[in-house]
């Protein structure tokens, strides 16, 4: 290419305008391809009711104790649930019983179990700020299969819902509606 300063008047102006236009165009589109990658914009902070990233089943792992107290004469009982993650989508599901020598679940309990009930394999999860739901299939130790939805509410409240295969509660809103009918005493806490 010629040096623009050696070109005749109008041609020189035309070449300089073309170079300026090309420079502006390249800078507007990020340059000629050698530029750094664009800086990603931060994700917006979810508001109440907005979907959150899918939660891990690791949040379900551990020992859980039934919130409610089952009374039987001078004794009382609470269920003990143990969930142990075995793969990113599977957990072993065990249950036992805590027996109390009182009719109000007070005092030091005696523990029976837990005993393995089966395996839960989760196929999907969804969450918002008030509820996480984990859809899956529960296979008992005898091979029977059931649809299952495990839910986790704020303050570590784990509730289990029965389901069908395929699910008859396909949305987080449908799960929340079903969950509203479950007494908190039937759920589990840490």
Strands 75-87 and 62-66: antiparallel
**pLDDT band, very low/low/confident/very high, at 155 (cuts 50, 70, 90):** confident
DSSP three-state, residue 139? strand
What is the model's pLDDT at position 110? 98
Q: Residues near 78 by Cβ (< 8 Å), separated by ≥ 6? A: 65, 66, 68, 69, 70, 97, 98, 100, 105, 109
Strands 62-66 and 90-100: unpaired
Residues 129/117, Cβ–Cβ less than 8 Å:
no
Is a pLDDT exceeding 60 seen at residue 158? yes
What is the pTM (predicted TM-score) of this model? 0.72
Going from N- to C-terminal start, the domains of the chain cover 1-33, 57-189
Residues 114/95, Cβ–Cβ less than 8 Å:
yes
Residues 97/113, Cβ–Cβ less than 8 Å:
yes
Average pLDDT, the chain: 81
The separation between the first and the last C-alpha atoms of the chain, rounded to the nearest angstrom, is 76
State how far the Cα of 85 lies from the Cα of 92, in Å rounded to an integer.
6
pLDDT tens, position by position, 102-132 = 999 999 999 999 999 999 999 999 999 999 9
DSSP state of 41: P
The DSSP line for 65-95 is: EESS-EEETTEEEEEEEEEEEEETTEEEEEE
């Amino acid at each position: 290419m010629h040096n623009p300063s050696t070109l005749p008047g109008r041609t020189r102006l035309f070449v300089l305008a073309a170079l300026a236009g090309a420079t502006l165009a390249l800078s507007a589109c990020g340059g000629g391809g050698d530029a750094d990658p664009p800086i990603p914009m931060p994700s917006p902070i979810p508001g109440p009711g907005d979907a959150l990233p899918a939660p891990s089943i690791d949040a379900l792992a551990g020992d859980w104790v039934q919130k409610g107290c089952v009374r039987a004469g001078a004794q009382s009982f609470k269920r003990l649930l143990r969930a142990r993650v075995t793969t990113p989508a599977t957990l072993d599901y065990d249950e036992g019983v805590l027996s109390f020598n009182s009719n109000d679940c007070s005092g030091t309990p005696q523990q029976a179990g837990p005993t393995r009930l089966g395996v839960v394999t989760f196929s999907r999860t969804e969450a918002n700020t008030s509820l996480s739901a984990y859809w899956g299939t529960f296979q008992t130790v005898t091979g029977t299969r059931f649809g299952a939805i495990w839910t986790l509410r704020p303050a570590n409240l784990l509730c289990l819902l029965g389901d069908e295969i395929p699910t008859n509660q396909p949305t987080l809103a449908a799960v929340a509606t079903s969950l509203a009918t479950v007494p908190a005493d039937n759920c589990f806490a840490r």
